[in-house]
Structure 1
Amino acid sequence: MTTARRDAVRRVLIGSDGFRSAQDIYADMRADGAKIGLTTVYRALQALSDSGEIDVLRTDDGEAVYRACRTDEHHHHLVCRTCGRTVEVEGPAVERWAESIGAEHGFTDVTHTVEVFGTCPTCAE
């Protein structure tokens, strides 16, 4: 895949608030006149995810949604179930627990993903 197409997908995510589905990204790009296929959007998202440039989250119904990372550091997300507002959070206790549980079972090179869901203050009003 060309870097130009991957950069175009990255730009859409940088200009977006919150997480977006591949279909939403594709629709926006097509509406703006981009000559890109949905498969290419998926490939770009996978490449961006693999390189750590974007965050990927699974919704309650199992759909993958994406957004541009705000930090290069390992982090987790606190996500509003209602509006999708997302806050990047650190979880030192989670980091220690993941390493500990891996070591307890003889695992090395342990990684993890933690997403926390709730209702943001605005939606709770």
Structure 2
Amino acid sequence: MTTIRTRRTAQGTAVRTALESMAGFISAQELHRRLADGGSKIGIATVYRQLNTLVENQEADAISTPDGQLYRACEDPQTHHHHMVCSSCGTTIEIEPPDEAWFTSVARTHDFEIHSHTLEVFGICAACRAASSQ
């Protein structure tokens, strides 16, 4: 993937800093709301542009959920990684993917040539399960 060179702006820095302060994934709308609550005058379109640039530069992760796209600052932007995400609280853990041989075998079986892959696992974490059983 090619890194897109962009100049750093105050708005870009604000989005990046806010994203890095989040523990899990967050929507662009929620990130925008938090920035606005903090006094930032950044527009929602700028938040989306900045998030997409961070993703393209592998500085942020993006996942698709039934509720829409969510973003999170990458812990290690240099390595390809996958996530296990709590559907309730958003807690996110980086996980090891299935063996690459599995991807190759499935692709060969279905006559596919793999260009890339994304793997996200969703569930409910122990803390949320415990809270719901009380």
TM over 0.5: yes
**Who is 2:62 aligned against?**
56
Trace 1:1-125 onto structure 2 (pairs within 5 A): 3-4=8-9, 5-61=11-67, 63-72=68-77, 73-93=79-99, 95-102=100-107, 105=111, 107=113, 110-125=115-130
Alignment RMSD, CA only?
1.9
AA matched with 1:91: P
Q: Percent identity?
A: 41
Distance 1:79 1:38 in 2: 25
Count, aligned residues: 122
Runs of 4+ in structure 1 deviating by more than 2 angstroms, as ranges, are 95-108
AA matched with 1:40: T
Distance 1:39 1:78 in 2: 28
Q: TM-score by structure 2 length?
A: 0.80
1:106 deviates by: 5.8
Q: Which runs of 5+ in 1 are unaligned?
A: none
SS of residue matched to 1:3: coil
Change (3 A) 1:2 1:39: farther
